[in-house]
Structure 1
Amino acid sequence: MSVINSSAQLDRYCVFGNPIQHSKSPAIHAMFASQTGQTLEYSARLAPLDSFVPSVQQFIAEGGKGANVTVPFKLEAYALANHLSERAAIAGAVNTLTFSDGVIVGDNTDGVGLVRDITENAKTAIVGRRILLLGAGGAARGALLPLLAQQPASLTIANRTISKAEDLVQLAHATKTYRGEIEAKTWQDLNGSFDVIINATSASLQSEVPPIPYTVFADTSFAYDMMYSDGQTSFNRYAEQAGARTRDGLGMLLEQAAEAFFIWRGVRPQTAPLFAHFRTKGSV
């Protein structure tokens, strides 16, 4: 789906991925453009696994203004960028590229999308709260800086192998912007409950749950799964059984897209109508 008019100078954007046929980005950005009165074209592009950079260069040559990047090319996008935002540098991955005057600017909007969905859409505070981040891969790295910017009381990063969690703790200390408590733990070492529990693992894609105890949840806890599906994710079912409120990552998907749209167009679209559309449609 694209927003198109007869102008020969149509601003063009796209999303690169492999696979890419099921991407919702064209529909999302078409709805954003319609909502904000922006005239643009947004398409999905399948990049060969060994030809991401040539694919981007070809798109730039065709007049492309910017691109989103999804799996498996976020690390290659990071390497391709001439300039990185702070959040992209911390994440070590790029999901949003902007092309201007021969310069490729890389950004990462995943973490800010997560935080905005939690704090604004789910009306759940992060500031001053005890946060548990599950996983220490790319999704967790992308969330790190925006989470710390909210100044939680503490941040615990739990992972199957503690060394990867410790790497994120060191990365957090290196930002020098967070003064609260931060620690790394394995799944087995977790004790006590947390205010906000964020699942940054991909376990729900396999209908699995990280091996964490029920005790991390309290009846006042808020559990967030970065994954999303038509039904409830396995992580959120587990969290609800423990008494927690839950939300999946559909809002994060929309908010990270809205942030990219804002970077490119200078106007921030409303995500609530799209959230209702995709939920009501029954296929996300």
Structure 2
Amino acid sequence: MGFSEINGNTRVCGLFGYPVEHSFSPAMHNEAFCHLGLNWVYLPFAVSIDKLKEAVTSICSLNLVGVNVTVPHKQRVLQFVDELEPAARIIGAVNTIVNHNGKLIGYNTDGQGFVQSLASEANFYPRGKKAIIIGAGGAARAVAVQLALSGLQSLYITNRNQEKAEELAWHINKSAATAISTIPWESNLLEQSVAASDLVVQATSLGMSPHVDQVPVFPFHVLTSQHLVYDLIYNPGQTSFLKKAATQGSRTMNGLGMLLYQGVLAFQLWTGVKAPVEVMRYRLLQQFDPK
């Protein structure tokens, strides 16, 4: 379906954020709708913080199917939806809203997208495994919570701000049986924790374009071929962190998979139709330099 074919029966979903000009989601979702012949369209809406409540109310007023929610609204939007699914409630953030017959249900597909990418692209399943996360911000929180909900045996968290790491550990401990430990930044204990882990997740912004040479302090020398190393950054596609991990023989993944599958899951929540994953992946790859 092309935009010239939009009519009175077209279903509308979109993105609430500020700004939204940089988002890859409209192209990814509209390509999927077109591929499946669905009379749907995905539009970006630049929503300032002071207009968020009005924007969420408009979902029902305008009969939108639903929206994605991005920065700076993922936490603020919690108070404006009618219901939260468990992961969104525990994470404390919403990235997808579904309009279910006038009832707005908030989901968080970020962490689920991460776990799905592990399964689909690395045949890695968290249950019974050990992981370490570098960082304690919003992305780290979504990933950590979903790993714990997926049966992870133990999780180490290290962050420059130790207080944030401890707060995240405390938060997860309330909701999951995973054993949580916090590791002081640059501590000698970091080597032991990495060596004991199956999965390493780099969840800080260090290494993101244009500062591609930045890496967090990390004991790369203890990595082996038994480690899966995942950097949530997807631009550049091969960060300095991943390059250093690869020299140790570790398997590596970038954040494209998480970006892709959080969109796949949102697509399926809205449409009830299986998403064309490879079509969406290809459209994503067209939008950035994957070097």
Please confirm whether the aligned pair reaches a TM-score higher than 0.5, indicating the same fold.
Answer: yes
Counterpart-to-counterpart distance in 2, 1:230 and 1:161: 25
Report the Cα offset of residue 274 of structure 1. Answer: 2.9
Counterpart-to-counterpart distance in 1, 2:53 and 2:286: 38
- Retained in 2: the 8 A contact 1:2–1:26? no
Partner AA of 2:27 in structure 1:
A
Counterpart-to-counterpart distance in 2, 1:137 and 1:105: 24
Equivalent position SS for 2:115: helix
Pairwise mapping of residues 21-170 of structure 1 onto structure 2 (< 5 A)? 21-170=21-170
Q: Which moved more, 1:152-161 or 1:251-260?
A: 152-161
Counterpart-to-counterpart distance in 2, 1:2 and 1:196: 42
- Retained in 1: the 8 A contact 2:94–2:107? yes
2:256 is aligned, of 246, 250, 275, to: 250
Q: Which moved more, 1:269-278 or 1:104-113?
A: 269-278
- Structure 1's 187 and 2: CA in aligned 2 closer, same or farther, altered over 3 A? farther
Identity of aligned residues (%): 32
Counterpart-to-counterpart distance in 2, 1:197 and 1:47: 35
Report the Cα offset of residue 282 of structure 1. Answer: 5.5
Partner AA of 2:207 in structure 1:
S
Counterpart-to-counterpart distance in 2, 1:15 and 1:80: 16
Partner AA of 2:203 in structure 1:
A
Unmatched 5+ residue regions in structure 1?
Answer: none
Counterpart-to-counterpart distance in 2, 1:149 and 1:118: 15
- Retained in 2: the 8 A contact 1:4–1:39? no
TM-score normalised to structure 2 length? 0.87
Report the Cα offset of residue 281 of structure 1. Answer: 6.7
Report the Cα offset of residue 10 of structure 1. Answer: 1.9
Report the Cα offset of residue 3 of structure 1. Answer: 5.9
Equivalent position SS for 1:182: strand
Report the Cα offset of residue 222 of structure 1. Answer: 1.0
- Retained in 1: the 8 A contact 2:229–2:242? yes
1:275 is aligned, of 261, 270, 281, to: 281
The question of 1:185 aligning with 2:183 is answered yes
- Retained in 1: the 8 A contact 2:94–2:108? yes
Q: Cα RMSD between the aligned structures?
A: 2.3
- Structure 1's 36 and 160: CA in aligned 2 closer, same or farther, altered over 3 A? same
Counterpart-to-counterpart distance in 2, 1:21 and 1:2: 20
Counterpart-to-counterpart distance in 1, 2:86 and 2:280: 29
- Retained in 2: the 8 A contact 1:91–1:143? no
Report the Cα offset of residue 231 of structure 1. Answer: 4.1
- Retained in 2: the 8 A contact 1:204–1:235? yes
- Structure 1's 159 and 265: CA in aligned 2 closer, same or farther, altered over 3 A? same
- Retained in 2: the 8 A contact 1:4–1:41? no
Unmatched 5+ residue regions in structure 2?
Answer: none
- Structure 1's 216 and 280: CA in aligned 2 closer, same or farther, altered over 3 A? farther
Q: Deviations over 1:118-138 (max 9, x none)?
A: 121222232322211111111
Counterpart-to-counterpart distance in 2, 1:2 and 1:187: 51
Report the Cα offset of residue 156 of structure 1. Answer: 0.9
Pairwise mapping of residues 10-25 of structure 1 onto structure 2 (< 5 A)? 10-25=10-25
Q: Which moved more, 1:237-246 or 1:107-116?
A: 237-246
TM-score normalised to structure 1 length? 0.89
Q: Deviations over 1:141-199 (max 9, x none)?
A: 111232123323321111112222222222222114x2x43211122231221221011
The count of residues paired between Structure 1 and Structure 2 equals 282
Counterpart-to-counterpart distance in 1, 2:44 and 2:21: 7
Q: Which residue of 2 aligns with 1:212?
A: 218
Report the Cα offset of residue 22 of structure 1. Answer: 2.0
Counterpart-to-counterpart distance in 2, 1:282 and 1:93: 26
- Retained in 1: the 8 A contact 2:232–2:258? yes
